[in-house]
Structure 1
Amino acid sequence: MKVTWTYDRGDHRDNHETDVTESAALETLLAEIHQAGEPVVVTILSDTADDPDDLPPGLQVGLGHPTHAFAVHIADDGGYLHDRSVEAPARGIRFDFGGVPTEYPAEHLRLRPGTAIRVAGTFLATGGDPPHVPAVSG
């Protein structure tokens, strides 16, 4: 799967793209991105689209905030994943999305970073099956 993320560096955008085929490698990469401490949206695409204006099926995860993250399944029947045991933060959090600082509403930020990383690893391991929050969160 193709993995992309971009940081806004003021005078330029810092673009990253890589192909990952193993879930352990994806989880390691996402943990490194998260540990950098710069909130960013990572897009994981399961295949390429014929139309460059269409986003192919995939998963986006927001990482880099110390306590809150998000995961959204990109599909016709997709949506944000939530862990009911995680309280939403007091307010939205800004993540770099394609190099554009973007505010994500608090109600979409009901995952812990470790959970979002595991969801992404499972998404890759299953070949892009619809993701779900694991029974044990972290």
Structure 2
Amino acid sequence: MKVTWTYDRGDHRDNHEVELTDPDALEALLREIQQAGEPVALTIFSDTNDDPDDLPPGIQIGLGHPTHAFAVHIADDGGYLNDPTAETPPAGLQFDFGGVPTEYPAEHLQLRPETAIQLAVTFLKTGGEPPHLTTVTE
């Protein structure tokens, strides 16, 4: 699967793209990004679309904040995954999305970074099956 993310560096965008098939390698990469402490949105997908402006089916996760993350399944029937046991932040938080600081509303950030990492790893292990929180918390 392809993993892409971009940081806003003020005078330029720091673009990253890697192809990964090993779940352990993906987990190591995501943990490194989380530890860096720079909130960023990562997109993980297998198929590309003909339309470059349309996100291909996949999963997008927000990592880099010490206590909050997000995960959204990118599909016609997709949506944000929230953990009712995770604390919702008092306000929205910014994550770099494509090198653009983007605010995500608090209600979409009801996920711990560890859970977002596990959702992404499971997404890769299953070959892109729709992510479910029960897969991670069982």
TM-score after normalising by structure 1: 0.96
Aligned partner of 2:103 in structure 1 is 103
Q: In 1, distance between residues paired with 2:68 and 2:125?
A: 24
**Percent of matched pairs sharing the same residue:** 74
1:53 shift after superposition: 2.5
Deviations 1:95-121 (A, max 9, x none): 000000000000000110011000000
Aligned partner of 1:135 in structure 2 is 137
**Structure 1: any 5+ residue segments left out of the alignment?**
none
Deviations 1:67-109 (A, max 9, x none): 0000000000000001110121000000000000000000000
Q: What CA RMSD, in Å, does the superposition of the two structures yield over aligned residues? A: 0.9
1:22 shift after superposition: 1.2
TM-score after normalising by structure 2: 0.96
Aligned partner of 1:87 in structure 2 is 87
Amino acid at match of 2:91: R
Amino acid at match of 1:135: T
Amino acid at match of 1:88: T
1:52 alignment partner, SS class? coil
Aligned partner of 1:117 in structure 2 is 117
**Structure 2: any 5+ residue segments left out of the alignment?**
none
Aligned partner of 2:15 in structure 1 is 15
Q: How many residues align?
A: 136
Q: In 2, distance between residues paired with 1:63 and 1:55?
A: 19
Runs of 4+ in 1 over 6 A off after TM superposition: none
Q: Which moved more, 1:59-68 or 1:49-58?
A: 49-58
Aligned partner of 1:64 in structure 2 is 64
1:46 shift after superposition: 1.9
Q: In 2, distance between residues paired with 1:3 and 1:57?
A: 12
1:79 alignment partner, SS class? coil
